[in-house]
Amino acid sequence: MTKPVALSANSLIKTFGGLTATDNLSLSVETGEIHAVIGPNGAGKTTLVNMLSGEMRPDAGNILFNGRDITRMAGPARVRAGLARSYQITSIFRDFTTLENVMLSVQATQGHSFRFWKPVSRDTSLIDPARALLERVGLGDRMEVRAGDLAYGEQRQLEIAISLATEPTFLLLDEPMAGMGPEESQGMITFLRALKGDYTMLLVEHDMDAVFALADRITVLVYGKVIATGARDDIRNDPAVREAYLGEEEIV
């Protein structure tokens, strides 16, 4: 018995000049699962995320989201359809406070912003949901801090909180642990685990501890090709994967 597929990429191809970043790549993410994509540097992981989020167009192939072809859909429209992403390099509004960052995102989900007169700073329909979300992600006491002044781990959490505020059903997480120390990573793992079940997630990550702690299924990319895909434990024990990618790395 298979669960319904939330997102599937079918035979995606993307080349930059002579370089093939994505080579006939197919994968499918089931509703409710955390699906990790791993692979060495240059495997085309971020290119994949960019194509799924709509920031890049594939040269060939298609992308289905909840059964609907979104290959030609612009990025913002995908977000409104419930597909949100976070960035590997922290992408927040540094001069806004933590609360304002999330308020902006709440605002974006409440329909168009062609409202010219009422100040947002007194708009409880923005403030209340933003506060609630920040409490939930553990940034409740940091709301009035300028986002640029947050600690790095907090910025990474805010990054994901901004995405969550768009009320997605699906999260594209591009290396959420990037640049984190072991302790911060552990915090992020706990944080993401708490979100599991509420969201379907595609997790691109280098941190193998995090991947094996979180993922239900794993797809392994090498040079833009899928070399293996399957349940976590199958991948862990797949000799081809160990050789091609995991190599000498010590697997827990």
Partner 1 sequence: MNALKNPANMFTAVVMVIFALTPFVAPAIGETFYVTVFARIMIWGIAAVSLNLIMGYGGLISFGHAVYLGIGGYTVGILAFHGVTNAWIQWPLAIGLSGLIALIFGAISLRTKGVYFIMITLALAQMIFFLSVSAERYGSDDGLNILARSDFGVSFFSLEDKMTMYYTIFAFLVASVLVSWRLVNSRFGNIMRAAKSNDARVQSIGVATYRYRLTAFVIAGIMCGIAGLLQANFERFVSPDMMNWPRSGELIFMVVLGGMSTLFGPVTGAFVFLMLSEILAGWTHHWHIIFGPFLVLVVLFARGGIAGLLTPKSRRE
CB nearer to partner 1: give 93 or 212.
93
CB nearer to partner 1: give 129 or 224.
129
Per CB under 8 A, 146 contacts partner 1: yes
Per CB under 8 A, 23 contacts partner 1: no
Site string for partner 1, 94-133 (x = CB under 8 A): xxx---x--xxx-xxx---xxxxxxxxx-x----------
CB nearer to partner 1: give 146 or 242.
146
CB nearer to partner 1: give 147 or 215.
147
51 in Cβ contact with 14 (< 8 Å): yes
Q: How far is CA 133 from CA 79, 85, 127, in A?
A: 18, 17, 10
Q: How far is CA 89 from CA 16, 45, 46, 199, in A?
A: 21, 14, 11, 22
Interface residue with partner 1 among 20, 91, 169, 186 (CB under 8 A) is 91
Q: Nearest 5 degrees, angle CA 164-CA 166-CA 172? A: 55
Per CB under 8 A, 74 contacts partner 1: yes
Minimum distance from residue 164 beta carbon to partner 1 (Å): 10
Per CB under 8 A, 73 contacts partner 1: no
CB nearer to partner 1: give 60 or 132.
132
Give every strand in the sheet of 19-30, ordered side by side.
19-30, 5-16, 60-65, 68-69
56 in Cβ contact with 47 (< 8 Å): yes
Interface residue with partner 1 among 12, 27, 36, 92 (CB under 8 A) is 92
Residues 160-179 that bind partner 1 (CB under 8 A): 162-163, 165-166
User: Which two tokens mark 208?
Assistant: 């193998």
User: Which two tokens mark 25?
Assistant: 């790549």
Per CB under 8 A, 68 contacts partner 1: no
Cα dihedral: 81, 47, 5, 63 (round 10)? 70
